[in-house]
Amino acid sequence: MGVGYCGSFPTSGGHSYRELIARAAAMAYQDANITPEEVDGAVSVEEDFVSGYSIADEYVPDQIGMVRKPVYTIAGDFLHGICSAVMQLRTGQFQTVVVEAYSKASNILTKDELINFAYDPIFNRFGVSPHYLAGIEMRSFMDRYGVDSQTIASVAAGSRTLALANPLAPYGEKLAVDDVLGSRPVAEPLTELMIARPADAAVVAVLGIGPEAAERASHPITISGTGWNSANSIIERRDHSFSEATERAALMALGEAELDIEEVDVFYLADLYAHRLLMHQLALNLPPEPLPFVNPDGGAQGTGDLFEATSGPRFFDAVRMLREEAGAHQMEDAEVALVHGWRGLPTDSCAVVVLEG
């Protein structure tokens, strides 16, 4: 029914995270032509460790107008929240549900420690950069599929360049492949400019069901398929060259939508690391190379790493794209979009949503 997005900002000293959420919610409600009083419940997508508060979702109801209404938390990706909200609507107990996620990364002094904390404390914490697993993934992917580092660097450079046409992307810049390859090594062969930088933002989506919701919204978009999957959580037993969870989540979502991958016009895929974008493309039977119909908004390389909210800007842009409101990066005849979210290291936990205009 409606979407709202406040961000992204490298730092947002002028706004508290509560203000970011409230602003995004106000945008979403206006877009959906609805008031908070008419919403039945909400899904908050966040993690206590990232928020810095225990039971962090207690700070959400006021900002989105959910006083004395059911709000529950999904500690996953924004798209996991979308999938959960869709299931709630299908129970028949709710007519409208709001999904909210945010990042206030500028408040966090030791961001890498959050990733490190997610690793097994006995077997997988080596006292090195927690991005080491991304380096292993990248090397495995290159060796298995014959992709060179120049191609992966071109993904990072191309995404940052595309982001220059997206006014909501703070990290748009003109980069050359050599700039990416020559940046600081993080976990060989992974370099600093292949990694999305943290940012602050809030994303809110209003979902509804039935003819009343379609009539109420000024320009509704249909969620025709949802899917989710998690690969093996034991990293020693996982294939680091292929995203099994992406493949299975996409099959689930496309099956529900009764669509083939060839019928999708535009793809929004997780790209917290440049090689991950190509991995996710392969999992969808797309070639491992830069493609014009993948992440036309510049992806997370442009809008930043938003923790749980990272796929939120992709969902927001997909809605705008199908409405022909994407501005400078609008694609012609875009009628079906596939949006993909990944939970980040050290997981291979993914969700996929198929949207139709």
- Strand pairing class (222-230; 185-187): unpaired
- According to DSSP, residue 206 is labeled E
Does residue 53 carry a pLDDT above 80? Answer: no
pLDDT at 50: 82
pLDDT digits (tens, 9 = 90+) for 236-293: 999 999 999 999 999 999 999 999 999 999 999 999 999 999 999 999 999 999 999 9
- What percentage of the chain carries pLDDT values higher than 70? 99
Question: Which tens digits make up the pLDDT trace of 147-182?
Answer: 999 999 999 999 999 999 999 999 999 999 999 999
The torsion region of residue 33 among left (phi > 0), alpha (psi -120 to 50) and beta comes to: left
pLDDT value of position 59: 77
Domains of the chain: 2-109+198-216 (3.40.47.10), 111-197+221-356 (3.40.47.10)
As a whole number, mean pLDDT of residues 89-99 equals: 96
The bridge status of strand 41-45 relative to strand 96-104 is parallel
Q: What is the mean pLDDT of the chain?
A: 95
- Tell me the pLDDT band of 212, cut-offs 50, 70 and 90: confident
Confidence of residue 47 (pLDDT cuts 50, 70, 90): confident
CA–CA distance, 273 with 100 (Å, rounded to integer):
24
| pLDDT value at residue 89 | 96
Q: What is the DSSP letter of 7?
A: E
Residue 29 is predicted with a pLDDT of 96
3-state per-residue secondary structure call for 92-137: CCCCEEEEEEEEEHHHCCCHHHHHHHHCCCCCCCCCCCCCHHHHHH
pLDDT for the residue 40:
94
pLDDT at 56 over 80: no
Count of helix runs (H) and strand runs (E) in the chain: 13, 11
Could you tell me the CA-to-CA distances from 194 to 145, 177, 178, 204, 281 in Å, in that order? 19, 10, 12, 28, 17
Q: Which two tokens stand for residue 51?
A: 């928020």
User: Is the pTM value of this prediction over 0.85?
Assistant: yes
- Describe the strand order of the beta sheet including 266-268 as a list of residue ranges: 222-230, 349-356, 336-342, 266-268
CA–CA distance, 228 with 45 (Å, rounded to integer)? 15
Query: For residue 241, what are the CA distances in angstroms to 78, 141, 209, 301, 325?
Result: 24, 4, 39, 21, 36
Number of C-beta neighbours around residue 279 at 10 A = 26
Sign of the CA dihedral with 92 first, then 78, 73, and 199 last: negative
Q: Which two tokens stand for residue 123?
A: 């077997």
User: What does the buried/exposed string (b/e) look like for 197-209 if buried means 16 or more CB atoms within 10 Å of the residue's CB?
Assistant: bbbbbbbbbbbbb
